[in-house]
Structure 1
Amino acid sequence: MAATRLMALHIVRDRTLAESLKERMDYTEDELKTEQKRYISTYGCDIETADEEFLLSHREYHANVRDIRKKEIIAYQIRQSFKPGEITPEKANEIGYELAMRFTKGDYAFTVCTHTDKKHIHNHIVFNAISMDGKKKFRNFYYSGIALRRISDILCFENGLSIIKPAPYAERKKKGRYSRTKNYTDKKLEFIKDIESKVLTGKGRGYVNWAKKFNAKQMAKTILFLQEHKISSYEELKAITDERSGKVRQLMDSMKAKEALLAENKKYQKAIVDYGRTRKTFVAYKKSGYSKKFYAEHEAELLIYKAAEEVYKNAPGRKIPPMQELRDEYGRILAEKKAEFLEYAQIKKDMNEYLIAKKNLELLYQQEEEKKEREGRDKRTRNSHQKDVL
């Protein structure tokens, strides 16, 4: 289990940018807290000169991109605290490094200092606000804290650690602290807990065989997905996927029907234009007594006229609507088709996550059934042997 927090580090009042960086780095690298800097790792910098390297990136950025602003953000700090007794300092530092790498995508230099001076082992991750190439600055987007927590939860799950489950809003205390009323049960949380216990059981004997069927990272995402969408059972998940699959098929059929209408409309518009453009040529051909010489000289136009005439003959009532009416209809159908496509694309995008979650649960429960079947066969075999002995 790990709690995370993302904080922006500003230039300290009455201090320079360099002094502010050094002050923050000195605290996180404290030898007493990191056991003589034993539990420290870095990316894109050296721990002894990290503040100076951060400063060089800042100078390059401010010289080429823009000047220093008031309340300038110089770096960001991530605090990642683990449950007491659940992890070693070495593993905590390894997870902290992976968290920083995934969150910054390798674009920003960072240091990971694991502190062991408290009951709970915790990481202080400081990453530069300026990219390593000195060309861009990290954007602290609106849901960055949620994204950070999600990555941390996935890493905890991958490494067999527990995950914090937020209490329902009505049960939360002030200042974001969570509590549970006595004997409280939540069907949704029990469902998630059941899945987690099944997955974590595979971490023991027979894990190699289990790992062949499951991707731990994908399963972690599935559990978080179920939590976020408040799905309380496999049946509920299946109902959602079935409903969305039906909607996708309905939209596809509707779009195909509209494509056919658009093609027919376009054919009529083309026939009107071609007929009007080649009508005079056909009249002249008719006046020539259907002369072969005239036909040879104007064959292309006469063939176009003939094709347009066929469209008129095959139209309902041998009549094509006026051009303006056709254009208005074409625009209306096209707008409806575009709206359906946008809806189709969104449902398809969301549905992929639901389908992945559904497939992972099916594999998980299939494994459970296979395990029960094997245990049943072993039990029957033992009973059979005992009867033979008697």
Structure 2
Amino acid sequence: MAVTKIHPIKSTLKKAIDYICNGDKTDDEIYVTTYLCSRENAHKEFELTKKQFNSRTKILAHHLIQSFVPEEVSFEEAHRVGIELCEKILGGKYEYVLATHIDKDHIHNHIIFNSIDVEEGKIYHSYYGSYMNIRNQSDKLCKEHNLSVIDQETQREINEIKRREFVSWHDWNEDKKGSSYKSKLQFDIDRSIQQSVNWQDFLERMESRGYEIKQGKHIAFKSKNQQRFTRAKTIGDNYSEEKMKDRILNKEKELGNIIDIKNNEKVKSSKGYERWATKHNMTTAANTMIAIRDKGFHSMTELESEIKRLSSRANQLRKEFRDKEFELKRIKEITKHLQTCINKKAHYDVYRKNPNDKIYMMMNRKDVEVYQKSYEEIDVFLKQFPHLKNTVLEGLRVKSGKNIFRKLNEHSKDLGLKQERIARQHDSLMEEFTELKHLKNNMDDYLGREQRTEKNPRESILKQIKEIGKEDRERKLPKNRGIER
């Protein structure tokens, strides 16, 4: 099987020719052939031909690539097919440089030919019809050389599998930490909400941080490095315009942290701050207890049990995400071996029927061994993913392999969607975990300090809070100045 692509060269023709003739890729230019031009001066000779016919075309040359399936063709045969393809499609009228690259698993030909012919100066028109002629001639030559030919629809499925990019857990987690513009926007919105007194103040603070704001049905933001606006509601449930306005109005109700009175330097240097911190800790502890009760927990044991459950579930989701990632990676890797088995199946079937035919084995040893090696890889793959066994084995029975690549492509798409669902579920779960962990840490910090500083470590927190509140109320009452007559 050979896959063909073509594109025009409008600048740096010499650089393109030097690249395809690179000695490291062509075994010191052993697999380089030129026609009607020299290797060193091809770019100048292309230009002289254009001047000879006063050509005004802006296209300097055309670059054709012909790729073969890994381990299907030898270096010499691939080069020979390339020369025959040039003869078929260019008809001896165009100067060209042909180079066969042998430095990769997949051998491929690069053909750079002039954009006008040497006989009449006619421009080569590259369009769908001319490409299909190249494709058909290439397929015909592959059949003549006993190389496999694959239909375009199947090739599209294979290309889609190979091009598919899958997100690793590390990449997704890095994105959460702030490497993406959405994470940065989320951080800047949170920071602006905490500092703003009203909605207008919030908008001004976002603008001061370099954001362009588009207001309408859904508020959207765009940073200096972005090309498009991002709707705030797409970065999380708490980022719709209504939610953000509510967060600005009620940010004082958000639960704070317990202050470490014993080790805080400011507490040591200021009695006033010490009293404020004590009161703050009492209020925070009371609000923490109320929040714990509101969430349906009747003891710290119940809260700790739920935190452990959420942590365990988060680990399980991360494992599920990585399992899907590994399966996507293996599908991408096994595609090459599936292609090889489909292409070499006929050679192997003849060998299986006549295993003692030494002459056939001598002539086809390479094809048979390549098939066996690829099938071993497929066997390992099927042991890893037994749920794909029927899909793969049924697909290998069909010569074209059309269904196998279509089904694997669909399965890969489904795995990607499952990864997205797992990531969203994990994100939601971790928000709940962080909130409950905050509540637990507040109570641990408060109770731990009370146990170290109070004689009675079991004294009710609510009782202490009531006493502090009573003292405050008494302090705020006006002093008795007597009855005025």
Q: TM-score scaled to structure 1, two decimals?
A: 0.40
**Alignment TM-score, normalising by the size of structure 2:** 0.33
Which is greater in Rg?
2
